[in-house]
Structure 1
């Protein structure tokens, strides 16, 4: 029999409802796996007492009418505020911060009976593509092709590593420019970024407020549908939350996409794209075509401006959001010398508390928002963002139901390999994903194959706004056609 911690949400749900498995036993299996997985550095704050209390409560309410997530052990990204549990966004500036409140997403998950195993590693303030900017040190990809330790991607690197290594059944992630989809592709799991506004941002530490969106990271598309249903919904505490009914995403997984149009954007064919990625994309097209979909070429002409646009808007919003971390109210405060005033306290606190990547982005953001450069950079980036959004609107208006692209420009790379590269080279990891955030669209990464070194590769599907149900169904078809069942060999 499959070890309990290796089950999918759907399989565990069914076993729990039938009484074949208890939530306490399932949670203990995950806690054991979590402790054995310390070498991956995925869990950074463990909460076994909370997990077992929640599991016992789940067993008490168990039955055929229990919620889908009742008794399901999850990992929670360190960006989500969890009451009484350290929530420090992988930053030294929030060391010691234990919120007095629960984020809307975690509250919804716990109301649905989910079990929290602990908090997961990530890039500091979600700024990064490799999980190397974390104050906890990098999370490690459970996949290996040689002696190197590989990145699990970022910023939701701990979430991706934990799910891929079966330390938990699923995890929460956040996606500002690809931070769910890129790590999902690097670790051979499924990750969906919903439409902006589908999931509440309240209680999630902000990076770039017009781009951030939370979503599930799971072992299968069905699991993503189940978990998204619990996370989504209107929240009066979040002014950007959409007051829309949440469909039954799992029921939408019919596996029938006959007659649907799948767009293939010509601008995503990048110079120097690895042959393995190009072949994967072609194979994905063939799979969807075999399922009855029509493959059509489309143009998204402003794609080439997406990365520079993103790296103006995101740092601008970050510099504004991170201004609140000043050493006055909570978190880290620097030790001051005699004669130091409040200005020195701000400067020393932020210099000590923020890592190099966060400092870089705050400075860029402050620069592009400054009086002399606001119109030249920030305002222009906002206008280009509108054009990128319009490109997608025109494609969907022409009848395209979903868009298929690569998820990443390569397989996972080694930790430390980008240390001497320019920041721009690292930012190129987001080249296929940032457009989706700029346009506010839903996007999902699905594992489709392995490269020549045996590392997972994923494809991305982009959906119409608010059509997560249709997007998940397309992903379900792709997942079944690809038949990806590979797991990392356990070395940790």
Structure 2
């Protein structure tokens, strides 16, 4: 049956039927698009205005304030979460603390115990701040009877390209190997301001390019689902952040995405990763890779956890002009709260057209994706729509994707001149940025604008959200994208990507939350490691105890 004819049942109006997008909602969407188009032009122009690396010597500390305080929803805590606090989602742990059935110290100690026992194999952390975390947990427990933030006492993993005050921020590189910031990145300040606890810094690809390796290419962080086999791709470059959450070494984490580095690790490690719209969350205090494509975002266990994390991170920041003048942050927690009819059936709050491209059912995950469509089709409020990409889609999303390289190279030219070996195995992609001429970059920006029109006035004119098989289009354009679990292929997690309209992270969360309410893929956890670090490395094959990426592989995988 054509997906255009597959429509979820129960799409009637009334108190139990989903709300439809019309009238005022349509006007808001038009205004959102206008704001987004203006912002995209401004961001592109800003690249020529002198992008520089943040410097603690000249930059002001980030602010932890935001316009609207997120809140903790009422949820049912699973028995597994009550038995083992490291099994709990962020939201479940927060609810248990509110109910006085769990303390932050107990939760933090449980995570630190797992880090002590297993991280030699996982290698998820570049730095563990155990004593600081325990001190923060004790303070969180003292706040239990007074005013506290929504994340009070929740242990988190922070990707190692976010500034963390008095804690090394190495970005897994020789360039920053001795760098200790004097202030927190805005995202970190907001998370800790809401009561979150920094357990440590997540390992990452060198300078946020490939999967996590040492700067010389030696593989470090593994996929939490195959800890005994480092050859399994864990997704990059937010590899350590994803592994920490999947391996139950943190309740949640933050990563950055410039070419798939949030949603791909999420897909490969059975997590929910949300890349928000460009500007929704501040990049102030994040070591840059590409000004027009860097996005901070959460790596979480489910849609509600992602909603809570982004609710805290999002909002205007005077230190990041991209965040200013945007539509207000929607109620992400409400969006991630599944709606049930009077008979108890899960349904969407808003009638939603989900675009399904012809390529969606191709590849090795066909069975998983077909089952996903069947599940979505059965949710009242969902309408599946066949969509067709324009003829120049491949050209626009592949050939012109290389235009991102000069943006990463420009702030680092000093180190390229001084000592190219500081870039390690990823040097080739940095040098490629020097080879793209100004006229090629301008042509690529025109191509990007053309692609943006084809997406906003074409694909997204026919649907509200669209299933994707590639991160590039929504990543390149700065549109919101979410990755979430949908099953397993050959024993490994198989995730799905869903892209949305500008500033409509709430619509993405609503769809994923409804799907997760009727499936349990997101509740699956990997088995603990059985191998020692040495045997795990040797299992990669060919007798090599330390598998490495070559320079060519690093360039191919580069974000």
| TM score, norm. by length of structure 2 | 0.74
**Partner Cα separation in structure 2 for residue 461 and residue 267 of structure 1:** 14
**Contact 1:104–1:201 (8 Å) recurs in 2:** yes
Corresponding residue number in structure 2 for 1:296:
385
Task: Indicate if the aligned counterparts of 1:448 and 1:479 stay in contact, CA closer than 8 A.
Answer: no
Distance 2:305 2:201 in 1: 20
Residue deviations 1:173-200 (CA, integer Å, cap 9, x gap)? 1111110000111101110000000000
Moved more, 17-26 or 224-233: 17-26
1:330 counterpart residue number: none
Match of 1:66 among 137, 143, 148: 148
Q: Pick one of 18, 26, 45 that aligns with 2:99.
A: 18
Q: Secondary structure at the match of 1:171?
A: strand
- CA–CA separation in structure 2 for the residues paired with 1:307 and 1:213: 18
Match of 2:403 among 313, 323, 327: 313
Is the Cα contact below 8 Å between 1:202 and 1:237 reproduced in 2?
Answer: yes
**Which aligned pairs between 1:115-134 and structure 2 lie closer than 5 A?**
115-128=197-210, 130-132=211-213, 134=215
Alpha carbons of 1:207 and 1:199: their partners in 2 closer, same or farther (altered >3 Å)? same
Q: 1:146 to 1:25 in 2, by over 3 A?
A: closer
1:81 positional shift: 0.6
CA contact (8 A) 1:436 1:442 kept: yes
Q: 1:54 to 1:251 in 2, by over 3 A?
A: same
Q: Within 2, Cα distance between the matches of 1:174 and 1:303?
A: 26
Distance in 2, matches of 1:160 and 1:174, equals 11
Is 2:434 aligned against 1:366? yes
- Contact residue 273 and residue 297 of structure 2 kept, 8 A: yes
Structure 2 contact 360–467 (Cα < 8 Å) conserved: no
SS in 2 for 1:247: coil
Alignment check: 8 A CA contact 1:306 1:434 kept = no
Equivalent residue number for residue 203 of structure 1: 285
Counterpart CA distance in 1 for 2:464 and 2:351 is 10
Q: Does 1:282 align with 2:351?
A: no
Within 5 Å, give how 1:411-422 maps onto structure 2.
none
SS for the counterpart of 1:240 is helix
Does structure 1 residue 466 correspond to structure 2 residue 503? yes
Give the distance between the partners of 1:148 and 1:323, measured in 2 at CA.
33
Corresponding residue number in structure 2 for 1:419: none
1:482: which partner in 2?
Answer: 519
CA distance in 2, matches of 1:241, 1:4: 35
Shift of 1:306: 4.5
Contact 1:396 1:464 in 2 (8 A): no
What is the CA-CA distance between 1:132 and the residue it aligns to?
Answer: 3.5
The separation in 2 between residues aligned to 1:360 and 1:21, in whole angstroms, is: 49
The separation in 1 between residues aligned to 2:266 and 2:83, in whole angstroms, is 22
CA contact (8 A) 1:303 1:435 kept: no
Q: Secondary structure at the match of 1:250?
A: helix
Q: Distance in 1 between matches of 2:279 and 2:329?
A: 12
8 Å Cα contact 2:215/2:425 also seen in 1: no
- Offset from partner CA, 1:284-337 (integer Å, 9 cap, x none): 22211110311111123243124534542221100112235x3xxxxxxxxxxx
Q: Are 1:30 and 2:93 an aligned pair?
A: no
Q: How big is each residue's C-alpha offset from its partner over 1:239-289, in whole Å with a ceiling of 9 and x where there is no partner?
A: 11143422221112334326310001235566xx22xx1222222222111
1:2-13 to 2 correspondences below 5 Å: 2-13=83-94
Any conservation in 1 of the 2:243–2:269 contact (CA below 8 Å)?
yes
> What is the match of residue 248 of structure 1?
331
Structure 1 CA distance, aligned partners of 2:475 and 2:367?
26
SS at match of 2:144: coil
Structure 1 CA distance, aligned partners of 2:145 and 2:395?
A: 52
What is the DSSP-based 3-state SS (H/G/I as helix, E as strand, rest coil) of the residue aligned with 1:296?
strand
Q: Name the SS for the 1:138 alignment partner.
A: coil
Whole-Å separation in 2 of the counterparts to 1:305 and 1:99: 41
Name the SS for the 1:354 alignment partner: helix
| 2:468 equivalent in structure 1 | 405
Residues 367-404 of structure 1 show CA distances to partners (whole Å, capped at 9, x for unaligned) of 10xxxx321x2122211111221122024653411111
* Structure 1 gaps, min length 5: 327-345, 407-431
Please, which of 332, 352, 360 is the counterpart of residue 260 of structure 1? 352
What is the match of residue 225 of structure 1? 307
Corresponding residue number in structure 2 for 1:386: 449
Q: Secondary structure at the match of 1:251?
A: helix
1:356 lines up with 2:419 in the alignment: no
Contact 2:129 2:200 in 1 (8 A): yes
Q: Secondary structure at the match of 1:94?
A: coil
Distance in 1 separating the partners of 2:227 and 2:162: 32
Q: Distance in 2 between matches of 1:149 and 1:361?
A: 22
Give the Å deviation of 1:148.
5.8
Deviation at 1:73, TM superposition (A): 0.2
1:461 is paired with a residue whose SS is strand
> 1:457 and 1:397, CA in 2 relative to 1: closer, same or farther beyond 3 A?
closer
- Counterpart residue number, 2:29: none
> Displacement of 1:133 after TM fit?
5.8
Give the SS at the match of 2:484.
strand
Residue correspondences, number: 434
Matched, 1:216 2:298: yes
Q: Distance in 2 between matches of 1:90 and 1:265?
A: 37
TM-aligned CA distance change 1:146 to 1:74, over 3 Å = closer
SS at match of 1:61: helix
Q: For 2:256, what is the secondary structure of its paired residue? A: strand
